[in-house]
């Protein structure tokens, strides 16, 4: 299968077009089955903890134990996914998750689970998910062309929410009919399908770098550097934090809403999660239409208002039927925000930094969910569940208003494919590639009338230098020659500078071409200097 991810993103091939690709379809189906098992596991774990401990804080800690590992380990996992074979990594991690799920099923069947043990096993599974999540996210562009990426992300979200519809309701039935261990057994078995699909799939061949592979720590640093100097990524992360830290209250407190506020059992909890999934599936189907009418920013605002309304409604009108209807609205709202933010992050990242950038997005998502789960669980212990939900609802609206200036989907209009237009630098072959630091200097002669435009463009170029590994960037003017400027920046090693050559994007090239046209000498050459100490 060829990867045609360079096709312009403006073409809209249709919401279902990714299913034309057999690899996407098979992995989507396998993931659907696996996610049904995961949701059964989550319902079982949440409900089991309500039996083991009545404390709202301890029950909310199950959600925190699931999300905390992703906050802690997502960044090194993202770096790992960018420098190793993602398919093999996914196979290994899924086998680990299957083994942990089987262990928990055995312990539950023996009535050997304590609150501490349940939290430990949940943390272990969360760690596996943390290692796997960036690789899964980064694999999507290898399965479909670029113009179908938005549809593929939406379909993946829809698959998650179809499983959310089936898994919780099935788990509630199985717990009542056959006992607490059954959801955990089925979760372990569900992983077999996804491992088989990954063994069948062969990733498309991509052009291999001539440079040696990166190691974990430098790869992590380069991922963080890219994120810090990418406006589209930072806007997405800010909007994600503003939503998820308050939206986490709904997920963390839902088991207690079902058990304590609505006086229901495992079946009611499963029904509520099933309604959530139903709403999310409907949201995924209509999301393209919604976004075409109100845009990505409007979709996030609408989703935030919807979830806030749901939390307020449940707080003020604790009724099972009202809660079920509200859960459907919550599902629509959640998918609108989650899918929109995910697409915004995907399109703002180049392939070489995709898993690392997405790992930072996941860190913000799960970090917000972890902090929020503990915060709202503690607040519910102090002031009650309805009051905690009402507080989270108000906070979500305020945060939305404060961050509405951070625009989403800026990356859709960008071409982040490598341009490979920089000439190969000529240096003495005696120099070692891992030595450093390296200083690069470029001289520009600019007409007086072009001075202001040149300085503005150099500000944009500075961000590109930083994104691709540069630091200590400066633009100095020669005092002896009017309007002669010297651009200077440093990189950690000569090898890092060669990586910079490979990472310069087509958008970076467009900025550089505008600058070169302003250069009166008509040519631009770079001096490369290396530290001698």
Q: Is residue 433 in some structural domain?
A: no
For residue 114 the two structure tokens come to 């304590």
Per-residue pLDDT at 72: 81
Q: Give the span between the Cα atoms of 103 and 382, in whole angstroms.
A: 35
Per-residue pLDDT at 78: 86
More confident residue, 498 or 269: 498
More confident residue, 243 or 274: 243
Task: Give the pLDDT band of residue 487 (cuts 50, 70, 90).
Answer: very high
What does the pLDDT look like over 345-376, one tens digit per residue?
Answer: 888 888 888 888 888 888 888 788 878 888 88
Using DSSP, state whether 490 is helix, strand or coil. Answer: strand
Per-residue pLDDT at 306: 94
Per-residue pLDDT at 372: 87
Sign of CA dihedral 279, 283, 285, 289: positive
Percent of the chain with pLDDT over 90: 19
Burial class (CB in 10 A: 0-12, 13-18, 19+), 293: exposed
For residue 518 the two structure tokens come to 């302003």
Q: Is residue 128 in some structural domain?
A: yes
Task: Give the pLDDT band of residue 307 (cuts 50, 70, 90).
Answer: very high
- Report the chain's mean pLDDT, rounded to a whole number: 83
**Which among 273, 285, 393, 284 has a CA at the least distance from the CA of 324?**
273
User: What is the count of structural domains for the chain?
Assistant: 2
- In this model, does residue 211 exceed pLDDT 50? yes
List 442's β-bridge partners, or say none: 487, 526
Lowest mean pLDDT across 252-266, 299-313, 384-398, 446-460: 252-266
Q: Is residue 356 in some structural domain?
A: yes
Q: Does 404 share its domain with 481?
A: no
Q: Is residue 7 in some structural domain?
A: no
Could you tell me the CATH number of the domain that includes residue 504?
Answer: 3.30.70.100
- In this model, does residue 390 exceed pLDDT 70? yes
Q: Is residue 431 in some structural domain?
A: no
List 485's β-bridge partners, or say none: 444, 477
Domain limit, last residue, from 413, 430, 449: 413
More confident residue, 30 or 53: 30
List 474's β-bridge partners, or say none: 488
Tell whether pTM > 0.95.
no
Q: Give the span between the Cα atoms of 115 and 49, in whole angstroms.
A: 7
Could you tell me the CATH number of the domain that includes residue 186?
Answer: 1.20.1250.20
- In this model, does residue 302 exceed pLDDT 90? yes
Per-residue pLDDT at 14: 61
Q: Give the span between the Cα atoms of 296 and 340, in whole angstroms.
A: 6
SS3 of 211-227: CCCCCHHHHHHHHHHHH
Q: What angle do CA 360, 364, 366 make, to 5 degrees?
A: 110
Burial class (CB in 10 A: 0-12, 13-18, 19+), 276: buried
Q: Is residue 282 in some structural domain?
A: yes
Cβ neighbours of residue 147 closer than 8 Å, sequence gap 6 or more: 7, 8, 9, 10, 11, 12, 13
Taking each helix axis from N to C terminus, what angle separates 320-347 and 266-316, rounded to the nearest 10 degrees? 90
The helix, strand and coil proportions of the chain, stated in percent and rounded to the nearest 5, come to 75, 5, 20
Q: Does 399 share its domain with 523?
A: no
Per-residue pLDDT at 206: 60
Using DSSP, state whether 118 is helix, strand or coil. Answer: helix
Domain limit, last residue, from 368, 396, 413: 413
Cβ atoms within 10 Å, residue 331 = 28
Per-residue pLDDT at 161: 67
Task: Give the pLDDT band of residue 245 (cuts 50, 70, 90).
Answer: very high
Q: Give the span between the Cα atoms of 449 and 446, in whole angstroms.
A: 8
Domain limit, last residue, from 413, 428, 459: 413
**Which among 164, 172, 363 has a CA at the least distance from the CA of 283?**
164
Q: Does 462 share its domain with 510?
A: yes
Q: Give the span between the Cα atoms of 366 and 76, in whole angstroms.
A: 15
Q: Does 325 share its domain with 249?
A: yes
Q: Give the span between the Cα atoms of 500 and 217, in whole angstroms.
A: 17
Phi, psi angle pair for 245, to nearest 5°? -65, -30
Q: Does 385 share its domain with 311?
A: yes
Q: Does 31 share its domain with 97?
A: yes
What does the pLDDT look like over 130-179, one tens digit per residue?
Answer: 888 888 878 887 788 877 776 787 788 778 767 766 777 787 778 777 87
Sign of CA dihedral 311, 313, 317, 322: negative
**C-alpha distances out from residue 361 to 133, 346, 505, Å:** 11, 10, 21
Q: Give the span between the Cα atoms of 290 and 336, in whole angstroms.
A: 9
**Which among 122, 102, 125 has a CA at the least distance from the CA of 47?**
122
Q: Give the span between the Cα atoms of 208 and 24, in whole angstroms.
A: 23
Per-residue pLDDT at 235: 94
Please give the full DSSP string across 438-452, using - where no structure is assigned.
EEEEEEEEB-GGGHH
Q: Does 149 share its domain with 267?
A: yes
Per-residue pLDDT at 4: 37
Per-residue pLDDT at 213: 74
Q: Does 407 share its domain with 491?
A: no
Do 398 and 88 contact (CB within 8 A), yes or no?
Answer: no
Q: Give the span between the Cα atoms of 500 and 465, in whole angstroms.
A: 8
Q: Does 132 share its domain with 254?
A: yes
Please tell me what DSSP assigns to residue 521: T
**Which among 387, 148, 104, 118 has a CA at the least distance from the CA of 257?**
387
Q: Give the span between the Cα atoms of 57 and 226, in whole angstroms.
A: 37
More confident residue, 267 or 110: 110
What does the pLDDT look like over 415-442, one tens digit per residue?
Answer: 778 777 766 665 555 555 667 789 999 9
Domain residues for the domain of 512 are: 438-530
**Which among 285, 67, 274 has a CA at the least distance from the CA of 171?**
274
Q: Is residue 463 in some structural domain?
A: yes
Residues in the chain: 533
- In this model, does residue 73 exceed pLDDT 60? yes
Q: Does 373 share its domain with 446?
A: no
Burial class (CB in 10 A: 0-12, 13-18, 19+), 415: middle
Q: Does 144 share its domain with 64?
A: yes
More confident residue, 146 or 462: 462
Residue the block writes with tokens 């899918």: 339
List 487's β-bridge partners, or say none: 442, 475
For residue 145 the two structure tokens come to 């062309």
Q: Does 152 share its domain with 269?
A: yes
Do 359 and 78 contact (CB within 8 A), yes or no?
Answer: yes
Q: Is residue 429 in some structural domain?
A: no
């Amino acid at each position: 299968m060829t990867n045609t991810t360079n096709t312009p993103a403006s073409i809209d091939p249709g919401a279902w077009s990714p299913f034309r690709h057999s690899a996407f379809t098979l992995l989507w189906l396998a993931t659907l089955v696996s996610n049904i098992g995961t949701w059964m596991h989550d319902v079982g774990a949440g409900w089991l903890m309500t039996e083991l401990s009545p404390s709202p804080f301890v029950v909310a800690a199950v959600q925190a134990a699931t999300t905390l590992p992703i906050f802690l380990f997502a960044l090194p996992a993202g770096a790992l996914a960018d420098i190793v074979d993602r398919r093999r990594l996914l196979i290994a991690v899924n086998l680990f998750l299957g083994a942990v799920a089987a262990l928990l099923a055995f312990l539950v069947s023996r009535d050997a689970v304590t609150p501490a043990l349940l939290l430990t096993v949940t943390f272990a599974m969360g760690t596996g998910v943390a290692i796997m999540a960036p690789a899964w996210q980064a694999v999507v562009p290898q399965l479909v062309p670029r113009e179908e990426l938005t549809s593929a992300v939406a379909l993946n979200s829809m698959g998650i929410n179809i499983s959310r519809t089936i898994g919780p309701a099935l788990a509630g039935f199985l717990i009542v009919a056959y006992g607490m261990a059954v959801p955990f057994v089925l979760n372990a078995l569900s992983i077999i399908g996804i491992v088989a699909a990954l063994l069948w799939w062969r990733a498309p061949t991509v052009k291999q770098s001539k440079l040696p592979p990166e190691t974990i720590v430098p790869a992590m640093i380069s991922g963080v550097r890219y994120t810090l100097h990418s406006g589209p990524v930072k806007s997405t992360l800010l909007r994600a934090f503003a939503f998820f830290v308050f939206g986490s209250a709904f997920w963390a407190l839902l088991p207690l809403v079902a058990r304590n506020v609505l006086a229901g059992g495992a079946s009611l909890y499963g029904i509520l999660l099933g309604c959530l999934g139903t709403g999310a599936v409907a949201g995924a189907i209509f999301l393209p239409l919604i976004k075409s009418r109100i845009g990505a920013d409007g979709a996030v605002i609408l989703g935030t208002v919807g979830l806030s309304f749901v939390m307020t409604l449940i707080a003020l009108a604790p009724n099972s039927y009202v809660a079920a209807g509200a859960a459907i609205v919550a599902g629509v709202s959640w998918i609108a925000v989650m899918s929109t933010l995910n697409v915004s992050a995907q399109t703002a990242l180049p392939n070489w930094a995709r898993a690392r950038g997405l790992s930072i997005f996941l860190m913000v998502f799960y970090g917000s969910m972890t902090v929020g789960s503990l915060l709202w669980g503690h607040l519910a212990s102090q002031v009650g569940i309805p009051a905690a939900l009402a507080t989270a609802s108000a906070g979500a609206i305020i945060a939305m208003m404060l961050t509405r200036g951070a625009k989403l989907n800026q990356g859709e209009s960008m071409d982040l494919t490598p341009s490979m237009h920089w000439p190969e630098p000529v240096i003495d072959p005696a120099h070692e590639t891992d030595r450093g630091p390296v200083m690069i200097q470029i001289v520009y002669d600019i007409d007086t009338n072009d001075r202001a435009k040149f300085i503005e463009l150099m500000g944009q170029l500075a961000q590109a230098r930083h994104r691709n590994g540069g630091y200590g960037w400066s633009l100095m003017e020669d005092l002896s020659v009017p309007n002669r400027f010297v651009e200077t920046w440093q990189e950690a090693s000569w090898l890092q500078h060669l990586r910079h050559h490979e990472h310069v994007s087509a958008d970076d090239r467009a900025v550089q071409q505008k600058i070169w046209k302003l250069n009166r000498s008509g040519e631009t050459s770079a001096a490369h200097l290396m530290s001698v100490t």
